[in-house]
């Protein structure tokens, strides 16, 4: 590899040819501030915060896109550089809605931090014309407030990387703003509710719809039984909201916090993930044996399901009819659990804590009401739960580790890895391997399907049957897979698709990771490691061996894939119009 020798603030460093000044500075241990830059996603040099001085350049240059040259000397912290950054921040603030006290991103806002770092005050230095925008609350999962937008275009790039591209820059000059084509509301365009735009926004311009007030009201209602389930990916990231390093498991403290918030029972979505696997594996084997539609595609990710309904309605027959674990759990609560405990489903408030903003859309889908009422009533994100914990004055880091309530807290290692891309596939392979061979196999680790790559493929020989699988992470990869299926060239038997790159551990409702970390660390792999470590240490690692899953089928459903199981645990899909 050709290397280039440069100096950053007098420190000699050697970097690969083609590196930018930003990359060279990082190699020298210097973090140059940015607002618009996201590695491999948004490298446009638009915000002008990363300006530096460099020999051979005329004036200040943008470090995020300017390439280094042999012998270049770079200065990142001169008076001229600091003055430039401060002026840029002052001009950004001149059109920014500075309601920091009530902003959902206060203390976790990249603009706020930079203004603090550079001593920028709201002194009206550049006050003038200030555009005013109506807040868009039309989507089921999020709110867009362009009054707080700084036009960094990160959200646009994230939406493009997710293939859907439903937002972009409209108008020009002072009137430039981020919006949908023809100024349509976000709820009227083919947005899939993934929330990746929220995750990359540096300010409070984008946020999930907050359902915590509705939840507080339910918790205060003596006539309601409020039951909560938590997804596997939540435990891998919620600690970050309380200062824990990325990759810190926090399951026990999360359970303790939920109990102290007042929930009547704290259950684990992993239990329903195990049920999803036994139903999905049974469905797959039936399709293989009886000439059903192949490849079969997982249906756990509501953002992916919505994408299929919008962009590939002809292939909906390829999707497993299984509800997602969230919806399965809600259905079990309001049928089996309600009957066992003498509860009226109408008096149960079924709550989910999810890493996903699309879950807010999913709870309102049709054919998701096994007991005649919604399977899940309220879905909140990891971030919303963290805010509730703060509001309740709970010292999260000091809480004891507590266990989920039983019997619906019973889970396996197969269920916990659902939160990472490839996890659903691996869990399904563990069960399919046993069901096809008719015995309990020692092989439980299918490492070929692990990792953060957008597309992974593998072939397994199970009981003489060749099973080809594919795992797509992110909708650009999903679109590639679906195009192969649509044109008839797909070689796979079973396909897992997760809407969010990296899977649920990188869901649109997870704790915000600042750009400086996104650009330099594989935070997704660190979160995924939490789940794989939990799996490795679980006493039971196959979904069909979950003792409570066995019991519920013996007592209630009869058998995997039974008629009753289909009535309660399965759903249907609809072709959706792209524009309203």
Same domain as 124, residue 9: no
Q: Which helix (H) or strand (E) holds 89?
A: helix 79-93
Q: In the structure encoding, which two tokens stand for residue 424, read together?
A: 């659903």
Same domain as 387, residue 511: yes
Strand, coil or helix: 189: coil
Q: Which of 208, 242, 260 is the last residue of a domain?
A: 208
Specify the pLDDT at position 150: 96
Q: What is the pLDDT of residues 93-142, one digit of tens each?
A: 999 999 999 999 999 999 999 999 999 987 778 888 889 999 999 999 99
Q: In the structure encoding, which two tokens stand for residue 203, read together?
A: 């300010």
Contact, 319 vs 346, CB < 8 A? Answer: no
290, with CB counted inside 10 A (0-12, 13-18, 19+), is: exposed
> Does a structural domain hold residue 576?
no
> Does a structural domain hold residue 89?
no
Q: What is the pLDDT of residues 165-181, one digit of tens each?
A: 999 999 999 899 999 99
Specify the pLDDT at position 410: 82
Q: In the structure encoding, which two tokens stand for residue 432, read together?
A: 């399919």
The rounded percent of the chain whose pLDDT value lies above 70 is 100
Q: What is the pLDDT of residues 241-285, one digit of tens each?
A: 999 999 999 999 999 999 999 999 999 999 999 999 999 999 998
Specify the pLDDT at position 407: 87
DSSP annotation of 19: -
Q: In the structure encoding, which two tokens stand for residue 456, read together?
A: 């992974």
> Does a structural domain hold residue 86?
no
Residue where the block lists tokens 């009819």: 321
Same domain as 326, residue 237: yes
DSSP annotation of 319: B
Per DSSP bridges, beta strands 168-170 and 177-179 are antiparallel
Same domain as 322, residue 369: yes
Residue where the block lists tokens 């019997």: 407
Contact, 10 vs 3, CB < 8 A? Answer: no
Contact, 115 vs 150, CB < 8 A? Answer: no
How many angstroms separate the CA atoms of 477 and 452, rounded? 12
How many angstroms separate the CA atoms of 141 and 133, rounded? 19
Q: In the structure encoding, which two tokens stand for residue 269, read together?
A: 């979505």
Same domain as 466, residue 337: yes
Rounded to the nearest integer, the mean pLDDT of the chain is: 95
393, with CB counted inside 10 A (0-12, 13-18, 19+), is: exposed
How many angstroms separate the CA atoms of 224 and 213, rounded? 15
Q: In the structure encoding, which two tokens stand for residue 31, read together?
A: 């973090």
Specify the pLDDT at position 579: 74
> Does a structural domain hold residue 382?
yes
Q: Which of 186, 208, 230 is the last residue of a domain?
A: 208
> Does a structural domain hold residue 213?
no
How many angstroms separate the CA atoms of 295 and 287, rounded? 9
Radius of gyration in angstroms for the set of CA atoms belonging to the chain, rounded to a whole number: 25
Same domain as 533, residue 409: yes
pLDDT at 580 over 70: no
Which candidate, 100, 96, 161, places its Cα nearest to that of 126?
Answer: 96
Q: What is the pLDDT of residues 315-368, one digit of tens each?
A: 999 999 999 999 999 999 999 999 999 999 999 999 999 999 999 999 999 999
Strand, coil or helix: 349: strand
40, with CB counted inside 10 A (0-12, 13-18, 19+), is: exposed
Same domain as 226, residue 183: no
Rounded average pLDDT over 469-482? 96
* Bond preceding residue 576 cis, omega within 30 of 0: no
pLDDT at 482 over 80: yes
Specify the pLDDT at position 185: 96
How many angstroms separate the CA atoms of 510 and 425, rounded? 22
Which candidate, 571, 570, 502, 499, places its Cα nearest to that of 311?
Answer: 499
Q: In the structure encoding, which two tokens stand for residue 304, read together?
A: 């992916």
Which candidate, 93, 97, 96, places its Cα nearest to that of 85?
Answer: 93
463, with CB counted inside 10 A (0-12, 13-18, 19+), is: middle
How many angstroms separate the CA atoms of 101 and 94, rounded? 18
Q: What is the pLDDT of residues 198-250, one digit of tens each?
A: 999 999 999 999 999 999 999 999 999 999 999 999 999 999 999 999 999 99
Domain with residue 63: its CATH number is: 3.10.20.740
Long-range pairs of 441-449 with CB within 8 A, sequence gap ≥ 24: 444/413, 444/414, 444/541, 444/542, 449/422, 449/425, 449/496
Contacts of 455 (CB under 8 A, 6+ apart): 470, 471, 472, 473, 477, 480, 481
Same domain as 125, residue 11: no
Domain with residue 372: its CATH number is: 3.40.50.1780
Which candidate, 286, 265, 309, places its Cα nearest to that of 475?
Answer: 309
Q: How far apart are the first and last CA of the chain?
A: 52
DSSP annotation of 68: P
Which candidate, 145, 214, 156, places its Cα nearest to that of 180?
Answer: 156
Same domain as 401, residue 377: yes
Residue where the block lists tokens 């007042």: 262
Q: What is the pLDDT of residues 496-530, one digit of tens each?
A: 999 999 999 999 999 999 999 999 999 999 999 99
How many angstroms separate the CA atoms of 356 and 420, rounded? 13
The neighbouring-strand residues paired with 42 are: 38
Specify the pLDDT at position 529: 96
How many angstroms separate the CA atoms of 64 and 50, rounded? 7
Rounded average pLDDT over 430-452? 90
> Does a structural domain hold residue 577?
no
pTM, rounded to two decimals: 0.95
Domain with residue 187: its CATH number is: 3.30.70.20
> Does a structural domain hold residue 575?
no
Stronger pLDDT, 464 or 17, i.e. the higher one: 17
Contact, 214 vs 150, CB < 8 A? Answer: no
Strand, coil or helix: 296: strand
Same domain as 203, residue 112: yes
* Domain span at 473: 222-569
Same domain as 113, residue 72: no
Number of domains in the chain: 3
């Amino acid at each position: 590899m050709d290397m280039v020798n440069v100096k950053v603030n007098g420190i000699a460093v050697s970097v690969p040819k083609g590196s930018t000044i930003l990359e060279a500075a990082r190699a020298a241990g210097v973090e140059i501030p940015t607002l618009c830059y996201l590695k491999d996603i948004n490298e446009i040099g638009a915000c002008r915060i990363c300006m530096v001085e460099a020999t051979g350049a005329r004036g200040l240059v943008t470090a995020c896109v300017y390439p280094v040259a042999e012998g270049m000397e770079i200065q990142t912290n001169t008076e001229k550089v600091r003055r430039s950054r401060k002026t840029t921040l002052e001009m950004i603030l001149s059109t920014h809605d500075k309601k920091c006290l009530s902003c959902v991103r206060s203390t976790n806002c990249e603009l706020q931090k930079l203004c603090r770092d550079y001593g920028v005050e709201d002194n009206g230095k550049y006050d003038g014309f200030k555009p005013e925008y109506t807040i868009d609350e039309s989507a089921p999962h999020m709110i867009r407030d362009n009054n707080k937008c700084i036009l960094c275009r990160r959200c646009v790039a994230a939406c493009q990387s997710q293939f859907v591209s439903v937002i972009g820059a409209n108008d020009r000059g002072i009137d430039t703003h981020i919006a949908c084509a023809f100024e349509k509301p976000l709820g009227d365009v083919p947005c899939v509710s993934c929330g990746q735009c929220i995750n990359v926004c540096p300010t409070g311009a984008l946020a999930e719809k907050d359902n915590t007030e509705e939840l507080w009201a339910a918790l205060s209602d003596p006539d309601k039984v409020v039951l909560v389930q938590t997804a596997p990916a939540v435990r891998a990231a919620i600690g970050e909201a309380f200062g824990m390093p990325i990759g810190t498991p926090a399951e026990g403290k999360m359970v303790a916090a939920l109990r102290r918030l007042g929930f009547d029972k704290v259950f684990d979505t992993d239990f329903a993930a195990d049920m999803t696997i036994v139903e999905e594996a049974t469905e797959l084997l039936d399709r293989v044996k009886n000439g059903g539609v192949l490849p079969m595609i997982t249906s756990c990710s509501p953002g992916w399901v919505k994408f299929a309904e919008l962009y590939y309605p002809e292939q909906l027959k390829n999707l497993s009819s299984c509800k997602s674990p969230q919806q399965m759990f809600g259905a079990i609560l309001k049928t089996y659990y309600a009957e066992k405990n003498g509860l009226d489903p109408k008096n149960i408030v079924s709550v989910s804590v999810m890493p996903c903003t699309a879950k807010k859309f999913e709870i309102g889908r049709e054919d998701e009401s096994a007991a005649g009422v919604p399977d899940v009533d309220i879905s909140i994100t990891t971030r919303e739960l963290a805010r509730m914990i703060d509001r309740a004055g709970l010292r999260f880091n000091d809480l004891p580790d507590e266990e989920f309530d039983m019997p619906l807290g019973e889970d396996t290692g197969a269920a916990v890895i659902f939160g990472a891309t490839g996890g659903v596939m691996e869990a399904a392979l563990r069960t399919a391997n046993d069901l096809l061979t008719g015995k309990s196999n020692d092989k439980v680790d299918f490492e070929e399907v692990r990792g953060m790559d957008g597309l992974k493929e593998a072939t397994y020989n199970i009981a003489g049957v060749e099973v080809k699988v594919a795992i797509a992470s992110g909708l650009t990869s999903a679109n590639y897979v679906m195009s192969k299926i649509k044109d008839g060239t797909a070689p796979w038997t079973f396909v897992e698709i997760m809407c969010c790159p990296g899977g649920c551990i990188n869901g649109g409702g997870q704790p915000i990771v600042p750009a400086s970390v996104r650009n330099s660390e594989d935070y997704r792999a660190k979160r995924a490691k939490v789940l794989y470590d939990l799996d490795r240490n679980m006493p039971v690692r196959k979904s069909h061996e979950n003792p409570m899953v066995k019991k519920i089928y013996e007592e209630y459903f009869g058998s995997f894939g039974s008629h009753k199981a289909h009535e309660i645990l399965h759903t249907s899909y609809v072709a959706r119009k792209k524009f309203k």
